[in-house]
Structure 1
Amino acid sequence: MKLKTIYILTLGLMTIGMTACKKDFLQRDPKTEITEGVFFQSPTDLETYSNGFYNQISPSYSDINSDNISNYNGDGEVDILLRGGLSSANVGGWAKSDWAALRSVNFMLDHIGQVKGDPALIKHYAGIAKFFRANFYFQKIKKYHNVPWYGHVLSDNDPDLYKGQDPRALVVDSVLSDLNYAVANIKNDVKTNAGKTRVTKWAALALLSRFALHEGTFRKYHDEIGLSADYQRFLDIAISASDKIMKEGGFSLVSTGNGALDYRSLFSSPSLANSKEMIMWADYTKELNVGNNTHTVLDYTWSLSRSLADTYLKKDGTPFTSSPGYDTKVYTEVFTDRDPRMAETIINPNFRGASTVDEPYRIKPTLGGYNQIKFYPRDPALRQGWEMNYTGLPIFRYAEILLNYAEAKAESGTVNQGDLDQTINLLRSRVQMPPLLMGVALDPVLAASYPNANGAVLLEIRRERRVETACEGFRFNDLMRWKSGNLFQDSQQGMYIPALGAMDVTGDGKPDIAILPSPNDESLIANIPAPEREKLSKFYLKDKTGKDQNFYLTNGTSGFIAFTRDRDQPRNFITPKYYYRPIPIGETVVNPQLKQVFGW
């Protein structure tokens, strides 16, 4: 059953939930409405109800709020936080609506005992419900640390309604229990048409791998929570879950010998149904009038960072930042002899397929110049407007499992060359990059970025994770669990500009854009023939009144693109406070048992 059907069912099931909350004085089931007393009777009822859970998990196609972004025109929560604008008085996230997804899952689990039918099938749908409850609490733990665990629907007079937070350790073990149940009881594919758009045993294992790696590394690096003595248990779970998928799941990387095109196919294809790399994916089709907004990745409100661009290795496997003069290479030079995934993630001089077909796309320096193209639908037939892009999007893909396994082994101190060959080096081989070897030299740039990481191999695994999963929504959580808040604080930059004036950004030897002092001073392009000058896309450091625009160059008339907001309102990351979010003050007034953590 596809997304539009799920949405329709969700609306219908909301009626069920509301009906369940209203009883007349005789507590009679109304004959014209569906109630829990008559609805949860068969596994088919469980299937119908659980279809409404699928809007709780969705793909991501951006890294907003992380150091992979150079500039973002919206109001990202992290950006507001780092400039001191977030507090318990204005934060959201704890309202009744924020707990509604949990209530819907618990509502089904509370009534599953009355269902008659195949016990294995009933356990299957109970496993799906527990999968979604585990995912719900995973998000809450990441945000708040300690949260109250609710394993059933609360009534108005329930004594737990106004309890305080339960300890993180208790909630985490409850999540593990739910995921272990899901892994043990969810079938791979209940119906032949379900496919990988539904939760399967392998999706449950993938979530277990993701969750356990996050918890293990968070406990290892965050001594403030007092759980550092119990981190290895979770790394072992991540290794075990990943290993089971690798050995028994039948998944493999898309690797047909087309290198970069194989990588691109994962993020801009109309369907991922036949991809052996997909563990779970989201289907968007015109026939069902269900689309996504992946066209917004290009030149909409954000651009990618110089930090991300510099992370991609050279084609020979050595760091780009070890090359003499790397930091003065212009846009048309930085993509030369680099990891092919770079040009599939960051717009390159030869990119076509947006508003123009016959001419290369002109980048815009106002956001930094390194525009995102990963997830951008290349085929115009799949790119038709707001929520009208029809490309399949990954939710869990096999590459993440390989990365999880390698990282958990490295964090455990047990990684060996065989581990690298069956994980990191499969990812590199797909795009014809040299393998990672245990004797790799320490990259001082990576070491400076992650001072708490132990050893060159772990650093290279973190590099690989960053480049392979760029723009898939992992980066923020990775930095949080690694206790790398210093990288949130760093002001990100865009491409290098050698001098004001006209420049070629398409690689054809002709000027395409010009960065100029102001509209009042275009003397730097006065000698360009008028026909060529009129075709230039012009950008200015100041407006006609002399006011600074949103970007500037770090050396005044040359340097990297930087942003006036970062200069005028510097970012500041407060440790450990900013690794967590406050509970809205209004909620602590209603329930005094809720306590703020770590300085909030």
Structure 2
Amino acid sequence: MKNKWLLLSLTILGVTAASCNKDFLQRDPQTEISPDAFFNTPADLNTYVNGFYDSQLSSPYDDANSDNISSYTGSEMDKLVHNGITPNTIGGWDDWDQLRRVNFMLDNVYKTKGDAAEIAHYTGVARYFRAKFYFAKIATYSDVPWYGHALSDVDSSMYKGRDPRAMVADSVLDDLQYAVDHLKEKDGNGTRVNKYAALTLMSRFCLFEGTFRKYHSELNLQSSANKFLEKAAWAAEQVMNSGKFNIYTSANGAAAYRALFVSTTLDGNSEIIQWRDYQASLGIGNNTHTVLGWVWSLSQSLVNTYLMKDGTPFTNIAGYDKIDFLGTFNNRDPRLAETVAYPGFSINMDNVSYVAKPNLGGYDQLKFYPRDPALRKGWDLNYTALPIYRLGEVLLNYAEAKAELGTITSTDITNTINKLRARVNMPLMDMAAANATIDPVLAAEYTNVIGANKGLILEIRRERRVELACEGLRANDVNRWKAGNLLKEAPKGMYVRAIGAMDMTGDNIPDIAILPSPTDTSSIANIPWDKKKNMARYYLTDNFYLENGTSGHIMFVADRAGRNFIEPQFYYRPIPKDQTTLNDNLKQIFGW
């Protein structure tokens, strides 16, 4: 009965937070949960932290708000680069109730009696979630108020201003270190927070903070960048050396990579550190079917990043920027065809090929799309397990941190990047060769990378973009590297040789036609009716155009007037105006 009462109270708390977000920091927690009636045993703590998982633990399956997307009208990044974000128009800043729930437990855990290790474990879970909450806040706003306890309506700090980023980041690191020191190595089947999940989050956060400080001079924190990079490498190394995880290779080649994102369960997968379980029997589903041709496609920039099968850059090919959709997939890194819907892909695993949509760019996302039709039942009714943390990211975090520190060795490359490449039978990276022959395309994308390891850092960034595509990390990567130039550039879709009919599946039968307008069909007039009757038609009046008029890459009308990226302002987001009005101690930063 106690547990049912708690869950009801949490539900009420969530409703009140949604309906009134201006006083969420001051509402007395005792109106929802009486600490005298709860927090008495480790079992109470376990029940309480259950509420953190659904509200605060996500498993992303897209790269919205980054340069990996070609067209995603209405996304925050789309609004930002078209000058559509101001303090008056932006949302956010209304999720502090999540922090309050965590702090309420931490304020009352001293009442708990029982096994000290169990109590410390659940305290570690709470501090993990507080660290995760503040990581997101730092990444969005930089300086933010730090609240280490649940506020009451008489707390004088309720309306304080921002605390310095350095102080908040150190507090996040303290929380993560506590979690690492006290969490169990495994709790259940891998869906719960554990020691290695905390280490992975530590490596992710410290790599973010270390590189952000290194490349963002406006913070004046460059001198402390290495502290975080060293901690990122340390945390990653603890996971790597634990002996508990290995790059998953049980399937053959690309199929092993695919299995990380479309399996019914990830329990027992050697690469998975933490995952989310979606099953009909649990009444929990996901929306992964929406990745394929729903409201976005992937960008030509991302597609160009994948190497050729022989390990050479795609962009080394003469005329690479005029290779059409069918040619794009020839002899490429196998991960490309696991990420982008390739010619001949069938959504129902039959002889009917999927046809990509040029009005979104043509490179429709395949990664995370449930391959088995039986797992796709509708909105929030897809039943594939999703990774939260996996060893692949840990290896990339380690390699990048060591490269930025200047302490990376060939052995490090063998133990990280080359394990990922070996899984999909790609040629291994050679550290000396990477530094000796720098890819000019990568160098033009990341102009602020300098030093003896420049070529290696660029190639690690390539590998990271390819391996982790669509896993929700790209936007933060671009921001921490201070690569806003990539967001200012208008994104492109696939290359179109000429207006008219196109074969998109590789069977020599035209599947689509790109036409100037519904009334101008002259380019397909000579195609027999039996071949064009089922051909989907798209018009250059449908919010896209071709860069050269009648040929070229697909471009988007929204970008005709250009895109804007103001540095350093656009690496951060403004606090909504209603919040700074409510609390006049909250000040905007970096031009907002």
Q: Does TM-score exceed 0.5, indicating one fold?
A: yes
| Aligned counterparts of 1:195 and 1:451: Cα–Cα separation in 2 | 44
Tell me if structure 2 keeps the 8 A contact 1:62–1:473. yes
| Aligned counterparts of 2:393 and 2:189: Cα–Cα separation in 1 | 20
The residue matched to 1:69 in structure 2 has which SS? coil
Stretches of structure 2 lacking an aligned partner (at least 5 in a row): 17-27
The residue matched to 1:394 in structure 2 has which SS? strand
| Aligned counterparts of 2:5 and 2:428: Cα–Cα separation in 1 | 48
1:586, distance to aligned residue in structure 2 (A): 2.0
Amino acid at match of 1:152: H
1:294 is matched with which residue: 272, 288, 291? 288
> Which segment drifts farther, 61-70 or 85-94?
85-94
Question: How many equivalent pairs are there?
Answer: 571
Please list, as runs of the form range in 1=range in 2, the aligned pairs for 1:133-532 lying within 5 A after superposition: 133-190=130-187, 194-256=188-250, 258-354=252-348, 357-438=350-431, 439-440=433-434, 441-454=437-450, 455-532=454-531
1:357, distance to aligned residue in structure 2 (A): 2.7
| Aligned counterparts of 1:444 and 1:274: Cα–Cα separation in 2 | 42
1:274, distance to aligned residue in structure 2 (A): 1.4
Tell me if structure 2 keeps the 8 A contact 1:87–1:582. yes
1:515, distance to aligned residue in structure 2 (A): 1.1
TM-score by length of structure 2 reads 0.94
Amino acid at match of 2:178: Y
Residues 7 and 143 (structure 1 numbering): CA distance in 2 closer, same or farther, change over 3 Å? farther
Stretches of structure 1 lacking an aligned partner (at least 5 in a row): 1-5, 20-26, 542-547
What value does the CA root-mean-square deviation take over the aligned residues? Answer: 1.9
The residue matched to 1:415 in structure 2 has which SS? coil
Give the equivalent residue in structure 1 for 2:585: 593
Q: Deviations over 1:133-173 (max 9, x none)?
A: 00000000111111111110111110111111111111111
1:577 is matched with which residue: 564, 569, 591? 569
Residues 457 and 384 (structure 1 numbering): CA distance in 2 closer, same or farther, change over 3 Å? same
The residue matched to 2:555 in structure 1 has which SS? strand
| Percent identical residues | 55
TM-score by length of structure 1 reads 0.93
Give the equivalent residue in structure 1 for 2:548: 555
Tell me if structure 2 keeps the 8 A contact 1:164–1:594. yes
The residue matched to 1:445 in structure 2 has which SS? helix
Q: Deviations over 1:319-377 (max 9, x none)?
A: 000011211111111101000000000010020125x7322111110001000000000
1:8, distance to aligned residue in structure 2 (A): 10
The residue matched to 1:302 in structure 2 has which SS? coil
| Aligned counterparts of 1:282 and 1:7: Cα–Cα separation in 2 | 23
| Aligned counterparts of 2:8 and 2:466: Cα–Cα separation in 1 | 39
1:119 is matched with which residue: 112, 116, 119? 116
Amino acid at match of 2:410: Q
The residue matched to 1:510 in structure 2 has which SS? coil
Tell me if structure 1 keeps the 8 A contact 2:9–2:33. no
1:17, distance to aligned residue in structure 2 (A): 9.5
Tell me if structure 2 keeps the 8 A contact 1:293–1:387. yes
Tell me if structure 2 keeps the 8 A contact 1:182–1:201. yes
| Aligned counterparts of 1:174 and 1:521: Cα–Cα separation in 2 | 63
| Aligned counterparts of 1:413 and 1:81: Cα–Cα separation in 2 | 35
Residues 13 and 213 (structure 1 numbering): CA distance in 2 closer, same or farther, change over 3 Å? same
Tell me if structure 2 keeps the 8 A contact 1:16–1:36. no
Amino acid at match of 1:408: A
1:18, distance to aligned residue in structure 2 (A): 10
